């Protein structure tokens, strides 16, 4: 059971799918955001986009988590918008499978607006979409459309992970 990273911009449904997937696979679910150091949390709360330098230590921490769970399996939710970030994650577990949750900006904005008690302000959505580098052919990745319901996304993710030739 190789590690799984669920990636995408804020509001794409990473935590929702990630938790369900981990449950179905009977492996731990790790919320990537919960590993941010306090400085990063403060910046995000103030609506300040993190720099790559701000993210570096956090991504190494997540890579270490993937490495620790490389044999037993784990699902990690992490925006992982840039190839560089995903390369850092894979430095801990090269076999990591990537599930990319993709959808239109209007749907993302709606979902972010519908949430309460969440520290990511909707103003960051545009910058996240500008930053986004979708997974490339060599990344063991699948792209899923967030306009599908949670059950269908879970089904598609499981079918892909369990198919003989993927990821
Ligand atoms: N497939 C779906 N269909 C409809 N609504 C969904 C779906 N998946 C998630 N949602 C809803 O969209 C909102 C965002 O989902 P979620 O919190 O899982 O996103 P996220 O990618 O983890 O965001 P963040 O990066 O900010 O943590 C939530 O209110 C959630 O209930
Ligand atoms: Mg989340």
pLDDT per residue over 94-110, tens digit each? 999 999 999 999 999 88
What is the C-alpha to C-alpha distance for residues 19 and 26, in angstroms, rounded to an integer?
Answer: 10
Kindly tell me if the per-residue pLDDT of 146 is higher than 90. yes
Q: Is the CB of 115 under 6 A from ligand 1?
A: yes
- What distance in angstroms lies between residue 163's CA and the mean position of ligand 2's atoms? 26
Length of the chain: 167
Average confidence (pLDDT) over 76-104: 97
DSSP 19-85: HHHHHHHTS-EEEGGGGS-HHHHHHHHTTPPPPHHHHHHHHHHHHHHHHHTTTT--EEE----SHHH
Q: Is the CB of 15 under 6 A from ligand 1?
A: yes
What is the C-alpha to C-alpha distance for residues 50 and 29, in angstroms, rounded to an integer?
Answer: 24
Best of 13, 33, 157 for a ligand 1 pocket test (most atoms within 8 Å of beta carbon): 13
Band of pLDDT at residue 50, cut at 50, 70 and 90 = confident
Residue 146 Cα: closest atom of ligand 1? 1
Helix (H, G, I), strand (E, B) or coil at 130: helix
Average confidence (pLDDT) over 115-133: 77
pTM: 0.94
Band of pLDDT at residue 44, cut at 50, 70 and 90 = confident
What is the C-alpha to C-alpha distance for residues 22 and 111, in angstroms, rounded to an integer?
Answer: 22
Residue nearest to atom 12 of ligand 1 (CA): 111
Taking every pair of Cα atoms in the chain, the longest distance, rounded to a whole number of angstroms, is: 45
């Amino acid at each position: 059971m190789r590690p799984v990273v669920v990636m995408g911009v804020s509001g794409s449904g990473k935590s929702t799918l990630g938790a369900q997937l981990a449950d179905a696979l009977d492996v731990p679910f790790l919320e990537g955001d919960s590993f941010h150091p306090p400085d990063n949390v403060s910046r995000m709360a103030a609506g300040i986009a993190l720099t790559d330098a701000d993210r570096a230590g956090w991504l190494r921490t997540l890579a270490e988590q993937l490495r620790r769970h490389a044999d037993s399996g784990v699902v990690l939710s992490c925006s992982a918008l840039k190839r560089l970030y995903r390369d850092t994650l894979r430095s801990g577990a090269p076999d990591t499978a990537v599930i990319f949750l993709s959808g239109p900006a209007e749907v993302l904005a709606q979902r972010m607006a519908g949430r309460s008690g969440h520290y990511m302000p909707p103003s960051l959505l545009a910058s996240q979409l500008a930053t986004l580098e979708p997974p490339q052919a060599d990344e063991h990745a699948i792209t899923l459309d967030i306009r599908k319901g949670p059950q269908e996304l879970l089904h598609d993710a499981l079918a892909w992970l369990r198919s003989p030739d993927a990821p």
